[in-house]
Structure formats: structure tokens, C-alpha cells
Amino acid sequence: MPTVPLKDLRVALVHHWLVGMRGGEKVLESFCKIFPAADVYTLVSEPAAISETIKQHRITTSWIQKLPRASQYYSHYLPLFPFAIEQFDLSGYDLVVSSDAVVSKGVITRPEPCHSCYCHTPMRYAWSAYHTYLRAIESSWKRKLVPFFMNYLRTWDLASASRVDYFLANSQTVANRIAKYYRREAHVIFPPVAVSGFSVAQTIDDYFLVVGQLVPYKRFDLAIEVFNQLKYPLVVVGDGPEYSKLRRAAGRNIRFVGRISDAELSRSLSQCRALVFPGEEDFGMVVVEAHACGRPVIALARGGALETVVPDLNGLLFAEETAEILTDAMHRFVHLESEFQPQLIRETATPFDENRFSAEVSAFILDKTEEHRHRFKIAPRRWKPAIHDPRG
């Protein structure tokens, strides 16, 4: 059977929501470049918050888009997500690529189209970070109700994983989670980082940096606790549901700047003493971005950081999520700080460049699409007339 070029396939890209340009959306942006004629399906979209590359594609949203303030409070509609994602009609496509950390992989397709899922992580608040999220819920009645809903959500999530033909994972950490929770094999392709868009600064300022959505599992509360004690300057980049709580806990040496532009983030990363990465992440694209700026990273020795941080070369690892151990790591960093070499650190980021991602994804999807076509090829039925024996 001849190979069908990717450009000749009718492609649907599915992503959970488009309300900002975080790591998952940057991956979708790369998919949009690989498949320039693809249509995009998402639960909720805020056009002003997404890149021009994504907006050039036809974007179809779910009925959740019409609910009150959906683009701002989309997370409050989580119980409706499984029902909404299943309503997309993808029957006109040859290839479906879902970018998933919530429910995107749950789209329903016919058997013939190949469905490949690039998994950022199995739904973390239902699986790996469930107890972290549960402890962070301040309302007692919500804390009692959530376990019942999560039980349903896990059942749906496991069932919907069987709808995927092939899994890709953004790290070995996530591949291990897919094997644990879904009992499926996943091929690892690290996410794309625009390494060439970052540069090494000539001068370094006197501050440390934390970057990301302010949610419980990222453990920014741990960083704030430690920096309150050490009195080192800390800049917090990002916003989220923990913003007010974290700001109340922070001392005068800690500055919150909210969301900033890509250019401002690049400048902040390139001029910080180090990026502090206190929680377990699926991969952690900002770690590689810091390395692309020649800056070291002080990271928890779990998750994606184990695949990007080389101790004493481009950063330091600390073993446990405790203030005492992170404090020890900070003291160790200050002692070794002058030994880190920015240009050498930058070289460690080059294997994660976005060109490598495009080549690896294209090769994987082309190979699996052909494999899928062969698997579902059904030969026409053949009929032979019965031979009459005149002898009876």
C-alpha cells in the first residue's frame, strides 16, 4: 500500500482549551506548523490570548463556550468536559491528533481515522496530584464532594484512553504515568523549545526566579517559605488560583509580576541568578528555556527535571519537597554559583529545539498512520458458486 503524504491528509487537532500560551499551547502551535491546513477543536477559546499561528486555523469550540464567563472560569465547568468533548463530529478526517492533559483524547472517531495523542500528562488532579489538590481545597463541603466526582472522572478517563490508537508522551515521566494509569505504551518525544529565541545575557541581576501557573502542585508555597527565611530576592512570574494566598504569605523580598510577555520572560530568565523549580513537573519547558539563557536551575529531583537537569553542570537537584532540604540546596548553590558556565549550560538545551520536535513528530505520525491503514484494510468478500455433483 503506497504511503500517503501528511500534507494530503485531512487533519483535526484537538486541544483542551485555548485561553493562554503556556506549554501545552506552544506544543499545539508546533502541531499547527506541521499541519498548516488542519482544523482545531477545543472546549473554550479566547482569541486575544492565543498566537497568530493558531488563529490562522479554523477553530471550532464546544457548547461550553456559550456558558457564562467560560474563557475565564472554564475550570469550574470541569464536570461537563467529558460530555462536551464527545460532541465534536470528526467523521470527515483521516487523522486526529489530540494534545491532552485533561479530556482531549476522549473525542469519538470512526475506526478508520488514526488517532494519535500527544499526552502532557494523564489528568493530574484525578491521578498523580490528586491528594495535593484535595488538600488545597479550603471549603470543607467541596473537599467532601470532590472524591465522588473524581471517582467518576477516573472511570471516564481510563475508558477514553482506549479510544487512542497511539500515545506520545512529552517525557519518560509521563510515559511511566501512562503505563501506570492507562496500561498503554507511549513513545517519548520531548516538547518543542524555541532555543534560538533565547540568548545569554552579559550581566546577571541579584534575584532568583520562579515561573508558572500558580496552582498547588507546583509548590510555589515551598519556595516562598524558604525565601522568606533566606531573604534572597525572588521574582514570581505567573498567575492562577493560588495568587492571593501566595502573595499574602510572601515577605517584602518577594515580588509578584503576574503574566508577562515572551520578551519579558526571556529577559527575566537570562538575567536571574537561577530558576527555582520546587515542584514535580511533567516535563518543565521553562527549565530548558532557562538553560537556553545560560542560567542554572535548582529543581526537585522528580519528574521531568530528572530528564533536563544535569547536576553541577546546568543546575542542582534537591531530594524532597521540604523547606529544610530546599534551604540546603540554596546554600549549596550560592557556594557553587561561580562555577556554572553559561555557554556550557546553553549547549545542554540544544537537543530540545523545536526543529527536532517537528521532525520526530512527523516521522512518528507518518509511520503510525500507515500502520493504522494496514491494520484496518478489509479485503472485499469473494464468492464462489457451489459446484453441483451430478452423481448426487
Average pLDDT, the chain: 93
- Of 269 and 387, the structure prediction assigns the larger pLDDT to 269
- Of 20 and 391, the structure prediction assigns the larger pLDDT to 20
CA-wise closest residue to 16 among 35, 34, 47, 43 = 43
Tens-digit pLDDT profile for residues 21-61: 999 999 999 999 999 999 999 999 999 999 999 999 999 99
Q: How confident is the model at residue 376 (pLDDT cuts 50, 70, 90)?
A: confident
Secondary structure letter of residue 125 according to DSSP: T
Q: Is the pLDDT of residue 3 over 80?
A: no
| Residue 131: predicted pLDDT | 86
| Residue 135: predicted pLDDT | 84
Residue 123 Cα distances to 130, 158, 284, angstroms? 9, 10, 16
Tens-digit pLDDT profile for residues 342-368: 999 999 999 999 999 999 999 999 999
% of the chain beyond a pLDDT of 70: 95
Tens-digit pLDDT profile for residues 192-239: 999 999 999 999 999 999 999 999 999 999 999 999 999 999 999 999
pTM above 0.85, yes or no: yes
| Residues 6 or more apart whose Cβ sits within 8 Å of residue 208 | 227, 232, 233, 234, 235, 272, 273, 274, 275, 276, 298
% of the chain beyond a pLDDT of 90: 83
Q: Is the pLDDT of residue 257 over 80?
A: yes
| Residues 6 or more apart whose Cβ sits within 8 Å of residue 88 | 14, 41, 60, 62, 107, 108
| Residue 381: predicted pLDDT | 65
Q: Is the pLDDT of residue 1 over 50?
A: no
Q: Is the pLDDT of residue 388 over 70?
A: no
Q: Is the pLDDT of residue 83 over 70?
A: yes
Least confident of 21-30, 243-252, 325-334, 371-380: 371-380
| Residue 2: predicted pLDDT | 47
Residue 104 region by backbone torsions, left for phi larger than 0, else alpha for psi between -120 and 50, else beta:
alpha
CA-wise closest residue to 244 among 236, 229, 125, 21 = 236
User: What crossing angle do the helices spanning 140-161 and 172-181 adopt, rounded to 10°?
Assistant: 90
Cβ neighbours of 114 (radius 10 Å): 24
